[in-house]
Structure 1
């Protein structure tokens, strides 16, 4: 990816479709300030469209800026005089045009002909430029050593984490935490003496172990002329070796405890994260005791992997409790739905170019933020990962449109990457604002009655759209009708009758007419209307009233009935097709031949 700028918060949640650049961003940050060793080379250099290989003179560049904050998370003007950070970075700390302190550095990965390999170089920056001209920032001649980044180093935990592997792998967080158990020398001697006695007792009493030791003693006659001894230690004699053979068991209430190796990947992945939390909190404690300071950075890829939805929601609080800054990439709407709006960064890719967007929170009122977080993110977080979002007033269209879209294009909404969302009444603004500011293409199919149209116009105006009629991504049902009335007006009585017959029974409409014809109906402008279900037009009114009285129940049966009509040209209503054509043109979706419209 190229020219991507991301401002990081205490918690930053990266969302977006697969292959949008989230993992590449985490790897770039790790290359700049990562803890531990990682081999970097040609595969880490951007390959442009049409390029088969990376040009050898291309340089990967990553700039990082660090600014001081107080204990309450508020940015301050300067690093405290005489603090750990000023002594650590010294002249590497610069000031911007407002005389605010910052420490910035540039990491480059470039081909070195003399070494025949790619070489990593870090140098302080004396300027921090805007994203538009960031590469022009002045570079100091002073290099930046790894010891100067040790206490702000980033730990990258990818989606393949597994505590079962961590228990055995040298350098894992488990091994680094348990290599020194924090015991006194006296305690270590006492415990190791007990371990030796335990080993000796087991070998002495075990005929199997004695038999093994006797046979293994014959090695001395083969490999050495000197006398030699063979000993067997069922249990490690040294405390520092215990962590190499340790096991962790886990049991739910009322169940037998099993080693983690026997549990699923979800439990083992979660355990690996909790070990990292223990590692970082212990590191913070030691730094405080020793008068040092540390600021941990965690890059975490897909923490929701292998966890069920409720566990994904609960996981959010566990990650929030990890000390330091956390950068989390996720494909889970359940996890992303727990984040605050300002913590989200949406990654998108168009024509091979990655963009990362942050919401302009200053444009929102506190009530807007509440609606967005509760009504949109928490309940419909899936739209953050959508290719496009289609908005409706209520549940009828939300249920029916996916069926019509699948018939029209021959692929489900999930395959197409489209999110069909009922806005729960007429509050379009939170959805439109979020989609518009995140660059997610959005569409509206609205009832034509006065109230929903007035609200749609007001919400669109707040989003910067003065005339909804001038925008083909917004379709309003004409003649002040809702969807059911519009379909009846377009002579879909036959579909209504099929839907009613399939859902309630073949005589249900006739019984409805017989029971309610001539009875009191709705009250309009203070006047009670008398139902007139006589004749052909009366039958239409009856079918419409019967379905409209239970819209959400009839939404799917009605859409299904339309799709099974004999005339293929009627299977997707023309007004619905109008909006689908606009969406199809935007994403190059090929409409099926109308004779193939139907249930898939």
Structure 2
């Protein structure tokens, strides 16, 4: 229990310390859709990328936050398919916990867990007992140390306004839904501007907030004033109904609209964005092609990432399935940059699902990678693969990873699962890739990670040490001296590679294997001076003995129990390489 509390109170700095906006901290989901009784915990960051196989439960995680934020409306109610196995089991009711970080005591002292930097953690949970019914919402009382039916911030519509506003974009949403979401993004920014309009600069609240208060007050008075008339109407209609349907009656649901923003908006309800040639016909987004709609979405997001909407406005969270869909390869990098830039305004968080390694940028300080997968009995599980503060990447590491992202957009495939081998250069990568293709079933889960140089190997190792159970690094020993008798810098880099053993969590997880003096001489007997990857390809294709040597080395890298190939060294100290 103590361990669980420590995890709950872990602070995550997502925005500037002087930003007084709430932000999401953690989402914990049980018995919701494909997620079972074992909780799935998602640590939130500026950018969260959910990776994993198809049908692993990633979209259910995005839907979870949208659902709790819809409490008080029909979208906050579940249908029977949202319950485990499509049935109601009192022992396995859908439950979602949301943890939000706030900067003031507005929720009340009993709900505030104190965090560093004058931040407070508020915990809430929702439990659904029946389909079509509102959930039971509870707050974590830090003074009692238990859940309570009294809740922070009070009514759902008030509480929702204190948390980041969700914007959900499904992978295969209809054109109309996509058009609506794009319009909502723009409209939400305009609504935030309303909170700054004040007829009198000295007034505490904005004109918009005063109007909302008046509407809420009018709703309460209207319900009270018409209560007697409603009862008369119900009684008279029920009297006639009872003659045709004995023991039946009617009830007129005259509850006020809980979401006041639905009751009043300064803009028309059907706001649309039109597109077309200049001096030509403009039609709605829904009438555009899928590529055009996605481009419009990125254009809207790019604007939102660049605009500074000031402090005090309500923050946002973008929940997006597979942003790479319908994008040309050259546009994917631009789309990634837009998403990563979005939180820089201090007012956005982003959580996406993706099957594209291109959408992962390890050189950024604000990215969390979470793998969602199915474990035993098909239960959905999650594990955090990468968080910047845990990897402790220095400025050189970030430069190295940024360069790798540019040179090899598929570098980050290792986040999608499998056994990993880090290799120094293109020749080893080419040779092992050929063997992997020749024996697909044997090596289908093997990831060959090309570091493109000795000096970059430790940077890649820092990332892998966060989640990999074990991996092997293969590199060339090189010679202590150059052909001219001078000290060889490439030999000196062996000391840098040895430093991997000093990294946190490296013990028992990393193996170092070196080829004397390089991959080609160790396996093929001589080193080519040019076109080395191509020549290795030809050698393996035409020489079965060479192919067997490469396969034997790959097997040894993956399993230390396999025979060690000749001219290869497994080492721990540089002195081992001299033998």
For residues 323-361 of structure 1, the C-alpha deviation after alignment (integer angstroms, 9 at most, x for no partner) is: 622222133333322761442222243444322344262
1:107 paired with 2:138, answer no
Q: Is the contact made by 2:432 and 2:551 (CA closer than 8 Å) also made in structure 1?
A: no
Instruction: Tell me the secondary structure at the aligned position of residue 102 of structure 1.
Output: strand
2:448 pairs, out of 420, 437, 440, with 420
Alignment-derived partner of residue 152 in structure 1: 163
For 1:277 and 1:41, locate their aligned partners in 2 and report how far apart those are by CA, in whole Å. 36
2:387 pairs, out of 359, 380, 403, with 359
Alignment-derived partner of residue 508 in structure 1: none
For residues 36-81 of structure 1, the C-alpha deviation after alignment (integer angstroms, 9 at most, x for no partner) is: 624424443456xxxx967442133322222235xxxxxxxxx1xx
Larger Rg, first or second structure (1 or 2): 1
For 2:179 and 2:425, locate their aligned partners in 1 and report how far apart those are by CA, in whole Å. 54
- Which stretches in structure 2 are left out of the alignment for 5+ residues? 1-34, 195-265, 480-490, 563-579
For 2:530 and 2:496, locate their aligned partners in 1 and report how far apart those are by CA, in whole Å. 23
Aligned CA distance change for structure 1 residues 140 and 99 (closer, same or farther; 3 Å): farther
Q: Is the contact made by 2:423 and 2:429 (CA closer than 8 Å) also made in structure 1?
A: yes
1:12 pairs, out of 48, 51, 63, with 48
Alignment-derived partner of residue 575 in structure 1: 553
Aligned CA distance change for structure 1 residues 357 and 42 (closer, same or farther; 3 Å): farther
Alignment-derived partner of residue 393 in structure 1: 424
Relative to the length of structure 1, the TM-score reads: 0.58
Q: Is the contact made by 1:103 and 1:124 (CA closer than 8 Å) also made in structure 2?
A: no
2:68 pairs, out of 32, 46, 50, with 32
Shift of 1:150: 2.6
Q: Is the contact made by 1:153 and 1:297 (CA closer than 8 Å) also made in structure 2?
A: yes
1:457 pairs, out of 498, 507, 515, with 498
Shift of 1:397: 0.7
For residues 258-297 of structure 1, the C-alpha deviation after alignment (integer angstroms, 9 at most, x for no partner) is: 8756653122123246557889999968xx8xxx742223
Shift of 1:395: 0.8
Aligned CA distance change for structure 1 residues 263 and 56 (closer, same or farther; 3 Å): same
Instruction: Tell me the secondary structure at the aligned position of residue 382 of structure 2.
Output: strand
RMSD: 4.7
1:325 pairs, out of 348, 361, 372, with 348
Instruction: Tell me the secondary structure at the aligned position of residue 95 of structure 2.
Output: strand
Aligned CA distance change for structure 1 residues 264 and 423 (closer, same or farther; 3 Å): same
Q: How many residues align?
A: 425
Alignment-derived partner of residue 414 in structure 2: 383
Q: Is the contact made by 2:429 and 2:449 (CA closer than 8 Å) also made in structure 1?
A: yes
| Alignment map for 1:284-303 (pairs within 5 Å) | 293-303=313-323
- Which stretches in structure 1 are left out of the alignment for 5+ residues? 70-78, 80-85, 129-135, 183-239, 490-543, 585-600
Relative to the length of structure 2, the TM-score reads: 0.60
Instruction: Tell me the secondary structure at the aligned position of residue 452 of structure 2.
Output: coil
Alignment-derived partner of residue 189 in structure 1: none
Alignment-derived partner of residue 593 in structure 1: none
For 1:446 and 1:170, locate their aligned partners in 2 and report how far apart those are by CA, in whole Å. 50
For 1:318 and 1:554, locate their aligned partners in 2 and report how far apart those are by CA, in whole Å. 40
For 1:393 and 1:44, locate their aligned partners in 2 and report how far apart those are by CA, in whole Å. 48
For 2:65 and 2:451, locate their aligned partners in 1 and report how far apart those are by CA, in whole Å. 38
| Alignment map for 1:45-124 (pairs within 5 Å) | 45=83, 55-68=89-102, 79=104, 86=105, 89-90=107-108, 93-96=111-114, 102-112=120-130, 119-124=134-139
